[in-house]
Structure 1
Amino acid sequence: MAAQDLLRIEGLRTSFRTSAGLVRAVDGIDLSVKRGQTLGIVGESGCGKSMLSLSIMRLVPPPGRITEGRVLLEGRDLLTLSTAEMRQVRGGQIAMIFQEPMTSLNPVHSVGKQITEAMRVHSPGSSAGQLRDEAIAALKRVRIPSPERRFDEYPHQLSGGMRQRVMIAMALACRPRLLIADEPTTALDVTVQAQILDLLRELQAETGMSIILITHDLGVVAEMADEIAVLYAGKVAERAPSRALFEDPQHPYTLGLLGSVPRLDEERDRLLAIDGSVPPPFAFPSGCRFHPRCPFSIGPCTTAQPPLRELAAGHEAACIRAPIETSLSLEDAA
C-alpha cells in the first residue's frame, strides 16, 4: 500500500447465488482512499455502489458473500478478521451513514439511546452518565440545537435534515478514521443538502477522517470529492482526480452521465439521455458491459472486457476507444 492510502480495495468480488444463476454484484474492483481525502463513487442505480460499501463493512446480506479480493485498512485485511474483530472495526475505525435517515433510525428508541448503543460497544468501561455526555457532545458537533432535549426525543419528532444529522452523529461518535456516506443527501431539499455537505466538510477538516461518498448526484460529488470512481455493472469504468474527470472524461458512460446534467454555459433544447438501462447482474453482456448502450461501440467491444488503462497521471478508463476526443459527446457519436 502507498503510505498515503488509508484503505485499499484489491480485486474485490461479491456474488449472490440465485435461481437465475450467479449474480456478480461487485466484480473485481480496485480502489484506494487516501488519508484525509474524499473518494466519490458515482453511477446509476444498480451499478453496485451500495453493495461495494456493504462489502467493505462485511455486511453483505445472505445469500451474498465476498468470494475474492482484499480490503486493506492501513495494511490490515478486513476480510481475514474474525466476527468479533470486525465488530470492533465497525463504528470504531470505519463508520457508515446508511441511505434514507427516515427509515435507518429505529422509531421505538430515543435518539440518545441509538447513539450511545454504538459507543457502549467501543467504550465498555464508560458509565451511563459518561455515555450521555459524549452523545450530547456528538449532537453538538453536528450542529443540532438544544442537544440535551434532542437526546431524549424520538426520530418521528425530528425533521429529515435533523435525522440525517443524528445519523452523522452516530457514525462519528467513536471518531472513525473512515466514513462511508451512502447517498447522504437523498430525500432532502436543496438547502438542507447544502447544510449536510458543509457539515461533512467541516467535520473532515476537524478530525482528518477520510470519506467515501456514494451518490448518483454529480453536483454533490463535484463539490465534495478529491477523486472519483465511476461504477457501471459492478466494475470501475473510470477513475480520476475530480477536476480531471469533469474536464476530460475518457469513458463513454462518464460522457453520458455528464451530458445528462444541465449546464448554465450551454444552450440545449433537451438534455442528453443514455439509451437503455443498466443490465441486471445475472445477464451482463459479453465484452464491455456498456457496449449495448454505447454509440462509440465497435466489434471488439462485444467480445473482450477492457481493463482499466492509465491514460494520464492518476486517470484510468476501461475503454478500448480511449483516449476519446473531449469535444465529442454521445450525441455526436450517435
Structure 2
Amino acid sequence: MRDTSEPLLRIEGLRTVFRTHGGEITAVDGVDLSVPRGRTLGIVGESGCGKSVLSLSVMRLVAHPGRIAAGRVLLDGRDLLQVSSAEMRDVRGSQVAMIFQEPMTSLNPVHTVGFQITEAMRAHDTRASAAELRERAIEALNRVRIPAPDRRFDEYPHQLSGGMRQRVMIAMALSCKPKLLIADEPTTALDVTVQAQILDLLRDLQAETGMSIILITHDLGVVAEMADEVAVMYAGRVVERAEAGAIFGDPMHPYTLGLLGSVPRLDEERETLLAIEGSVPPPFALPKGCRFHPRCPFAAPECRSEQPPLREIVPGHSAACLRAPVEAFVA
C-alpha cells in the first residue's frame, strides 16, 4: 500500500543543459524539490532564472538542443527520466498535466476548443465514443465555470477572451484527472479581476480533486495567495525554500529580501520601492562564487569565491547564503 505521507513528486539533483556554439550552458543546476500530496508549491523568481525550464524538465518536454543531464524526477516513487517515451506520453495528461504561459499560442487556432479537449481525452481513452468524449469535454468546460459550455465547445480560440482561453487550458489539463498540475504563469496578461477568478478556480479544483499544484510565477502576490510552500530560484538554482508564511515573514536570503522589498504594501508608507540592481546573469556568463553576489548589497569577500550550498538554517527553512539568516547582516 502506498505511503501517503511521502511527497507525490520528488526532484533530486536535476540538471538541464543546452548545447550552444560556445559549449554547454546550464539552465537548471542541481535542483532538489518535493511536492506534498494535495498541496501547492510556488516557484518564484525573475525571468531567466530557470523556472520554466524546470517545469519542462519534469514533463520531459525540453526541446533540442536542450537535454536533461542528471538527476531524478520521482512521481510516486517512479523515475520519469527512466521511463520510455511511450510510457511518458501516457504519464502526460493522465498523471501530470501542464498549463502553459500563453493560452492563445498554446491552443491550435484552426481547431475548435472542443476538438482540442477531446483530443487530449482520446489519447488516454481510445475506447470512448465521440458522443461520450463530447459529453465529458462539456462537463470539463462547465467545471471551470465557462458559461454555455455546449456552445463554447464548437467555438475557436480567437472567439474567446483571454480569461476564457485560460479556463479552456485548465479544462484540458484536468480532463484526465491528473495527480499533479503544473501551472506556468497561469495569470500572465490577465487583468486583476480575471486573475483572481482563475486563482479561485484552481484553489476550488484542488480542494475538489485533491491534486497537487506547482505554481510557477514572478508575481509574489499570486504566491502569497496560493502557495503552501515556496522555492525561490535564481540563475538556475534554488536559493531559498520554506513554508510560504516563513518566506514572507522571515526571509533568509538577500535575493528573497530584495524581491519582497520591490513589492508595494498597503500596510507601509514608502516614497520609493527597493530595487535589485542589475539583472539575472545569462547562463553562459555566471559569476564565480555566489551567483547573486554582483547584485547583493551584503556581499562579503568570501561570497565572490565560495559557492553557497542550500542548507537548513532553521527547521523547515533552507537558504543558499554564506551569511544567512538575513537578520545577521541587515541590522
TM-score range, shorter chain: over 0.9
Which residue type is aligned with residue 254 of structure 2?
Answer: P
CA–CA distance in structure 2, aligned partners of residues 327 and 317 of structure 1: 15
Give CA-to-partner distance per residue, 1:8-46, whole Å, 9 cap, x none.
000000000101221100000000000000000000000
CA–CA distance in structure 2, aligned partners of residues 28 and 304 of structure 1: 16
2:154 to 139, 148, 152: 152
* 2:228 alignment partner in structure 1: 226
Within a 5 Å distance, the mapping from 1:1-334 to structure 2 comes to 3-325=5-327, 328=330
Which residue type is aligned with residue 279 of structure 1?
Answer: P
SS in structure 1 opposite 2:247?
helix
Instruction: Call closer, same or farther: CA 1:239–1:109 in 2, change over 3 Å.
Output: same
Q: CA deviation at 1:324?
A: 1.6
CA–CA distance in structure 2, aligned partners of residues 262 and 60 of structure 1: 35
CA–CA distance in structure 2, aligned partners of residues 61 and 255 of structure 1: 34
CA–CA distance in structure 2, aligned partners of residues 101 and 313 of structure 1: 39
| Contact kept in structure 2, 1:244 and 1:315, CA below 8 Å | yes
Structure 1: segments with no counterpart, 5+ residues: none
Give CA-to-partner distance per residue, 1:137-177, whole Å, 9 cap, x none.
10011000100000000001100100000000000000000
CA–CA distance in structure 2, aligned partners of residues 57 and 102 of structure 1: 21
Q: CA deviation at 1:2?
A: 8.3
Which residue type is aligned with residue 131 of structure 2?
Answer: G
TM-score w.r.t. structure 1 length? 0.97
Which residue type is aligned with residue 207 of structure 1?
Answer: T
State the number of aligned residues: 329
CA–CA distance in structure 1, aligned partners of residues 285 and 88 of structure 2: 33
Q: CA deviation at 1:233?
A: 0.2
CA–CA distance in structure 1, aligned partners of residues 63 and 231 of structure 2: 24
Instruction: Call closer, same or farther: CA 1:97–1:202 in 2, change over 3 Å.
Output: same
Could you say what the CA RMSD is over the residues aligned between the two structures, in angstroms? 1.2
Instruction: Call closer, same or farther: CA 1:152–1:2 in 2, change over 3 Å.
Output: closer
Q: Which moved more, 1:40-49 or 1:102-111?
A: 102-111
| Contact kept in structure 1, 2:138 and 2:149, CA below 8 Å | yes
Percent of aligned pairs with the same amino acid: 76
Give CA-to-partner distance per residue, 1:73-125, whole Å, 9 cap, x none.
00000000000000000000000000011211110000000001110010111
SS in structure 2 opposite 1:91?
helix
Shift >4 Å, 4+ stretches: none
Which residue type is aligned with residue 248 of structure 2?
Answer: F
SS in structure 1 opposite 2:327?
coil
CA–CA distance in structure 1, aligned partners of residues 328 and 155 of structure 2: 52
| Contact kept in structure 2, 1:249 and 1:326, CA below 8 Å | no
Which residue type is aligned with residue 261 of structure 2?
Answer: G
Which residue type is aligned with residue 83 of structure 1?
Answer: S
Give CA-to-partner distance per residue, 1:212-244, whole Å, 9 cap, x none.
000000000000000000000000010000000
CA–CA distance in structure 1, aligned partners of residues 18 and 225 of structure 2: 34
| Contact kept in structure 1, 2:17 and 2:28, CA below 8 Å | yes
SS in structure 2 opposite 1:236?
strand
CA–CA distance in structure 2, aligned partners of residues 226 and 61 of structure 1: 31
